[in-house]
Amino acid sequence: MSILLVPWGIGPRFCLGYNLALAEMKTFLALFVTKVDFDLTNTTPDNVEWKKMSIIPKPKDGALITVKSISDPSITPAAVESKSPVGV
């Protein structure tokens, strides 16, 4: 007998919270990206080799990045929320 892990479930036993979990993850990532700055490190080579069999361009050996907090006071959760359309 084979045991298969399906975290969200399949068919009639599909997880009811799946769509909520995806919405929360997307919201978190959107807010996270507004508060940090991504930069390549000095150890990343200048001539990056790309994976050949990929729809999305990805470095073959990966890329090292640094993540820094943005200390811009104009970027706050309130400022991000105020930019959303009315009625949403």
Specify the pTM.
0.49
**pLDDT tens-place string over residues 27-79:** 999 999 888 888 878 776 777 788 888 888 888 888 888 888 887 655 555 44
SS (H, E, C) 20-63: HHHHHHHHHHHHHHHHEEEEECCCCCCCCCECCCCCCCCECCCC
